[in-house]
Amino acid sequence: MTLTIALAKGRTTTQVLPLLTAAGIDCQALSTKSRRLIFTENPDYHFILVKAADVLTYLNRGTVDIGIVGSDVLEEQGHQQFDMLDLKTGRCRFILASTPDFDPQKTKRKLIATKYPHLAQRYFQNQGEDVEIIKIEGSVELAPLTGMADAIVDITETGTTLRENNLKIFATLTPVSTHLVVNRLALKQKKPAIYQLIQSLQQVRPQEA
Ligand SMILES: Nc1ncnc2c1ncn2[C@@H]1O[C@H](COP(=O)(O)OP(=O)(O)OP(=O)(O)O)[C@@H](O)[C@H]1O
Ligand SMILES: O=P(O)(O)OC[C@H]1O[C@H](OP(=O)(O)OP(=O)(O)O)[C@H](O)[C@@H]1O
């Protein structure tokens, strides 16, 4: 039985390939630098490489059985899939950041720039705050620096981008890591193969909390 897997391109793939290899899955073809997007040479596991934001589209339509993607994406768009395993890699965190002179108490209806509008809206709603969200596609740090927004909700890992742009963290929201998610129907139809994969990845993922 073949399992089809959508892997988020970029950082996620780079960090997950060593785990898949350690779990005994031949995915050598994916580690070569190329523009290929679909890998079907392994009869047990077929892979497609997609933009992180598209993983759940392939999964929810049933085009793939499994998605491997950051929990940032799941928090922003997830609803129909089963989140089966935290791979404990690709770790970073959501933060609220701005220029050092930003005063969260003083700014009345904040303008918040982010790549994650739903997550940001939820965060402020839970704080009982009404904010205006500006959806940005990248280099989010520019928004408070240029005065377009009061603050940003984004992910940070090393903190280098914030530091180099003289931005300060005002709140830490939720932690982020790469997760394995499963299509509902696939979980019914391919249960043994899916559980076997989960079990092998559980054994090789980083063990710390
Ligand atoms: N420091 C980090 N910054 C951003 N994403 C990170 C970081 N560390 C881990 N990740 C994970 O990697 C994913 C983003 O990977 P990447 O930046 O390669 O993709 P992308 O943002 O779609 O790429 P691109 O910048 O080409 O559009 C996120 O969904 C997140 O889960
Ligand atoms: O804390 P750090 O280790 O510096 O990482 C954080 C940076 O990485 C991400 O951007 P990405 O590289 O995905 O580029 P983008 O600006 O195009 O989204 C994120 O949006 C931050 O800008």
Domain ranges for the chain: 1-89+175-202, 91-173
Give yes or no on whether 1-89+175-202 and 91-173 have one common fold.
Answer: yes
Using CA atoms, how far apart are residues 93 and 155, in angstroms rounded to an integer? 5
Cα 92 to averaged position of ligand 2 atoms, centre (Å): 10
CATH number for the region 1-89+175-202 comes to 3.40.190.10
Cα 111 to averaged position of ligand 2 atoms, centre (Å): 20
Using CA atoms, how far apart are residues 185 and 131, in angstroms rounded to an integer? 38
Yes or no: domain 91-173 corresponds to CATH 3.40.190.10:
yes
- 82 class by beta-carbon count within 10 Å (0-12 exposed, 13-18 middle, 19+ buried): middle
Strand runs labelled E in 106-157: 111-114, 132-135, 151-156
Tell me the pTM.
Answer: 0.95
Ligand nearest to the CA of 164: 2
3-class state of residue 104 by DSSP: coil
| Model ipTM over 0.90 | yes
The model's pLDDT over 133-189, given as tens digits with 9 standing for 90+, comes to 999 999 999 999 999 999 999 999 999 999 999 999 999 999 999 999 999 999 999
Sign of CA dihedral 32, 90, 39, 58: negative
The model's pLDDT over 32-53, given as tens digits with 9 standing for 90+, comes to 889 999 999 999 999 999 999 9
